[in-house]
């Protein structure tokens, strides 16, 4: 688990995310532990992946259920919730 001490550091992790590196676990002092998941906008690509790996489809369904229950937030909302004080 990565320890993030600034917004710039968090953005470095986000920029480096791709299909092979799509999940980042990190800790923000004063806030807690987070899991950030890259979700591609290319529906066809995701559909092909799910068709070739049913377990991936199950993971997407569970993730969507949790998001609908309010157990997840967008990256934008996460960044808005952070302040300089959180990194001290």
Q: Which residues contact 78 (CB under 8 A, 6 or more apart)?
A: 34, 36
User: What predicted TM-score, i.e. pTM, was given to this entire model?
Assistant: 0.44
Please determine, for residue 42, whether its predicted confidence score (pLDDT) is greater than 70.
no
Containing domain of residue 71, as a range? Answer: 2-87
Q: Are strands 32-37 and 23-28 parallel, antiparallel or unpaired?
A: antiparallel
d(CA 28, CA 39): 22
Mean pLDDT over all residues of the chain? 85
Kindly indicate the confidence band of residue 27, based on its pLDDT and cuts at 50, 70 and 90: very high
Mean pLDDT score, 1-29: 89
Kindly indicate the confidence band of residue 68, based on its pLDDT and cuts at 50, 70 and 90: confident
Please determine, for residue 44, whether its predicted confidence score (pLDDT) is greater than 70.
no
Number of domains in the chain: 1
């Amino acid at each position: 688990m990565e320890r993030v001490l600034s917004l710039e550091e968090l953005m470095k992790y986000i920029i480096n995310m791709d299909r092979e590196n799509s999940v980042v676990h990190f800790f923000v002092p004063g806030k807690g532990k987070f899991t950030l998941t890259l979700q591609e906008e290319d529906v066809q690509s995701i559909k092909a992946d799910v068709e070739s790996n049913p377990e991936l489809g199950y993971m997407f369904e569970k993730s969507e259920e949790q998001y609908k229950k309010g157990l997840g937030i967008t990256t934008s909302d996460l960044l808005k919730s952070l302040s300089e004080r959180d990194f001290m």
